[in-house]
Structure 1
Amino acid sequence: MIKRILILEKNCSFIIQKLKKKGFICDENYYDSTDKINLSLYDGIILRSRLKIDNEFIKKAINLKFIARIGSGIENIDKYYAFKRGITLISSPEGNKDSVAEHAIGMLLCAMNHIIVSNQQIKKGIWNRENNRGMEIMKKTIGIIGYGNTGKSLAKKLSGFDTSILCYDTLPNVGDIYANQVDMSTIFQKSDVISLHVPYTKKTKGMINYNFIQKFYKPFYFINTSRGECVITNHLVKALKNGKIYAACLDVLEYENLLYENIFHYNQNNKQSKTFFDLIYSEKVILTPHIAGWTKESKSKMDEIIIEKIILLNQQLNSKKIMQNLNDSDSDN
């Protein structure tokens, strides 16, 4: 049974209110390190990204039954150790799939039609139509790498653009009426646009590198709204400079954790910083600050999903406990 839950992130008032109405005790702690928190008190934890939930954290949380992350990724949680301990991991990728998909399309439209660049030029008194001649999405082949919640939402939204949509995923038979599932060699051969929607794992870390990019048969537009560390940024910059990639739409950065709070005062002599400024000053790059899944609507949907999953888990645990008690009673007889 789940009784006491620790909330480690701000802006969870709706979640707290709803859970309290269901009888859960919710404690809030937004500043302390794990060394200062008595983790053994809690049956569940709700967070986003403030703390890393490693095996030492989990060892101290001896009564923990679930860890809920508001969002889609769980890379800040030692999921293998959590599974070993029988702890349920909860996330809410269903909640922001549409906002991420819309954001990806918005960035792609801006890149293909030079919307941001021409807007900036006009504000400087430059009226340049020919150099800002765009390209249409219609009739292009879109390659979606990672066909889960967000990839599927993107394909559905792109279906109205009269495109050919291909998807690649490590899981079999995930294609649908919106996207034809193919192997990576077909993605390399046919894609005009690539949109990345994979989780961050050991296998996906740095997957978009120079060798990967060179396998494409033709130049392409690249969108990353998944995780920054899936892309080796200096390899991406090289491909932008040599024309292998027409333009890059990046909502996430490889080193954003290092730059997150002090992004424009970063040491300009640092190699990563130079690469970052290459991105800033390139007219081929559109950057946004990890906001693709950060809409007002997605926040509400993710909160609702987290609440529903916690309540469902508690019901399952209670049912399991009742069945166990019944079995124990039968054994006594």
Structure 2
Amino acid sequence: MSARSAILVTAADLAPQALDLLKDFQIIYAGKTPTEEDIVALCKRHDPVGIIVRYGKVGSAAMDAAPSLRVISKHGSGTDTIDKDAAKARGIEVVAAVGANASAVAEQAVALLLACAKSVVQLDARMHQGFWDKATHKSVELDGRTVGVIGLGAIGQRFAKVAHAMGMRVVGYDPYAKDLPDYVERVELETIWREADAISLHCPLTPENANLLNERTLAACKKGVLIVNTARGGLIDENALLAAVRSGQVGSAGLDSFAVEPMTAGHPFQGQERITLSPHVGGVTADAYVKMGVAAATNALRVINR
């Protein structure tokens, strides 16, 4: 492979360990927040043999602008920002770093679940304002409660393991998962809506499950249900969730992903006392950064070197 062959990284950086693997290639960075137009322009200029996708979307225009393109490698597990149908039609392989950030994202989901159940953010704010709410506050005890896990891949199963260790009953839905541990009870979605005290989303975003949590499904849930989403924002109808939080149908929500990112000032979730927010950082740890970078580079090389 010529040293002049390029690999485009849709970000401003990549882990040094990943760069070591790609030392024979020219690495092109698209910047911190690349638009689709930025990516297309760089593809036209450099004709990369591979694209490592961290941020931004890669569609058919980018693929057509890079006739040498052989692989699109996701720096993570979710490939919804890549037009997979367009890639397949052009003979371009799409690969993902499945499981590389599983620990990081599962831990974020657990943190958000605990924040919701224990009112961590709200009590912290009250304490800093000089209040002492011991006599009036009652948190939710998770031991003995039922958590519904939607999506039982590497992240969902790791979250389920922690929830089980905390004494929770774990019910899960994933039509593709096999060989589940015995503490995960496989159920249909209707059972989750009916029985879960908390729901955590760990599935990819597809046309079929967009707005999976909506006015109808939230109304079917237990009153006061806790909602956690560290997967994709498009899985939730945000207007319906906001209304359900305000009405008390949803007791609290912990969200790490949103329909439109980055979230900008004035979003209706901002200032809502019972919605805990984080800026899609579930997979952003020092360890996961290296794991995902190495996996993305390894996956890309596996295709390129065939």
The reply to whether TM is greater than 0.5 is yes
CA distance, structure 2, for counterparts of residue 153 and residue 44 of structure 1 = 31
What's the CA shift for 1:13? 4.7
Cα-to-partner distance string for 1:30-78 (whole Å, 9 max, x where unaligned): 255523543673221112123x221122122222110112122122211
1:287 to 277, 292, 297: 277
CA distance, structure 1, for counterparts of residue 143 and residue 27 of structure 2 = 51
CA spacing shift, 1:39–1:167, aligned 2, 3 Å: farther
What's the CA shift for 1:8? 3.2
CA distance, structure 1, for counterparts of residue 283 and residue 302 of structure 2 = 24
Cα-to-partner distance string for 1:130-152 (whole Å, 9 max, x where unaligned): 33221211101110011112101
CA spacing shift, 1:139–1:59, aligned 2, 3 Å: same
What's the CA shift for 1:170? 2.7
Query: In structure 2, what is the equivalent of residue 130 of structure 1?
Result: 135
Root-mean-square deviation (CA, aligned residues, Å) is 2.1
TM-score (norm 1): 0.83
| Structure 2 letter corresponding to 1:226 | A
What's the CA shift for 1:129? 1.2
2:8 to 6, 9, 17: 6
1:196 is the counterpart of 2:201: yes
Aligned length: 297
1:167 is the counterpart of 2:169: no
1:16 is the counterpart of 2:6: no
Aligned-residue identity in percent = 26
Query: In structure 2, what is the equivalent of residue 233 of structure 1?
Result: 238
Cα-to-partner distance string for 1:76-120 (whole Å, 9 max, x where unaligned): 211011112221112223111111111111111122112221111
Q: Greater share of helix residues, 1 or 2?
A: 1
Q: State the structure with more CA Rg.
A: 1
Moved >6 Å (runs of 4+): none
SS of the counterpart of 2:101?
Answer: helix
| Structure 1 letter corresponding to 2:290 | S
8 Å CA contact 2:147, 2:170 repeated in 1: yes
TM-score (norm 2): 0.90
CA spacing shift, 1:177–1:307, aligned 2, 3 Å: farther
2:49 to 30, 43, 46: 43
Query: In structure 1, what is the equivalent of residue 34 of structure 2?
Result: none
1:256 is the counterpart of 2:261: yes
CA spacing shift, 1:77–1:223, aligned 2, 3 Å: same
CA distance, structure 2, for counterparts of residue 164 and residue 217 of structure 1 = 15
Structure with higher RCO (Cα < 8 A, 6+ apart): 2
CA spacing shift, 1:179–1:206, aligned 2, 3 Å: same
Query: In structure 1, what is the equivalent of residue 26 of structure 2?
Result: 26
